[in-house]
Structure 1
């Protein structure tokens, strides 16, 4: 089949393995345990997840070879490649330039314009740079803008925090978007249309709420 012309194999069929009822319920119990440990604050999310993985490995419910085959390594390299982009913007002074441009544009503007513009700039940047890098870059800019306009900086920090995670309009704006884009039958336009509408709605609501805090 692999040598057949005019045929492209997108994904090979894998037969289902017969799993005992005990392993199924045990795996489900581990999942619930991880959720309980993380939600109650007994352990952090990362430690809880690692604890669950270790229990599954020790009991033979999880095989590392299978895990390695299921991982889409292209996604990891894509996300790792976006981190240096954020560092480059910081090292070259691009973040300070953005801060100066925002201060010049927002001086004398109404509060809703100030919060909405900062939120929009952060959300657009997060569409091409990772959310963590965007937050690192935009947080000092938000504080600088707030101090320059003599406003409370807390709503600005909250705006950066939310806007950096509201970039649903590109498949690389957030890790979850990229994972879905990698394993699903989605195109860039799907994120632009559906995610763009959702991001626009969240932008309007967040601008209103953040302005009320000033």
Structure 2
């Protein structure tokens, strides 16, 4: 990335790092089934608001790296992954609490199980896609000389995706927490790297 493009990403980098850190903090307070509907909606709503920031910033990163089939695929996979996370969060954060509000016996128990299976499908496919997108961004950053950020991206993206595909982990609470925090940690690193690099008069290689 040249210096003009880096300068335009200074604020975007800060926004990316901030949204990723706040999302990881909210993950710590991820509600369980015995929490109130208000808390469940609040935490999931906050998470959804934060994660939609990330593909917007990565769009700018892809543009800064130069659009090619490679960077376009990286952004497309990450965007698809974000959509999966949004759908999964909407189901557990808003649909399920709404179902709980119906009188007992009015909605069959199978509906809640269906909602859970949909949540897991969207969360798993989304996490895999986002991981592939992060890995592809890592490869693109390697080509631009951002070697440390690139290697960390390849690891943070590919390892969780591979473990999910192999069935070693799933997107139940602890597997989801580890997967998301791993991905969010890299997004935080990238955001800080962009912010710092934009403040240096000559191009750097974070």
Q: Normalized against structure 1, the TM-score is what?
A: 0.27
Q: Normalized against structure 2, the TM-score is what?
A: 0.28
| Greater Rg over alpha carbons, structure | 1
Q: Which has the higher helix share?
A: 2
Where relative contact order (Cα < 8 A, 6+ residues apart) is larger, the structure is: 2
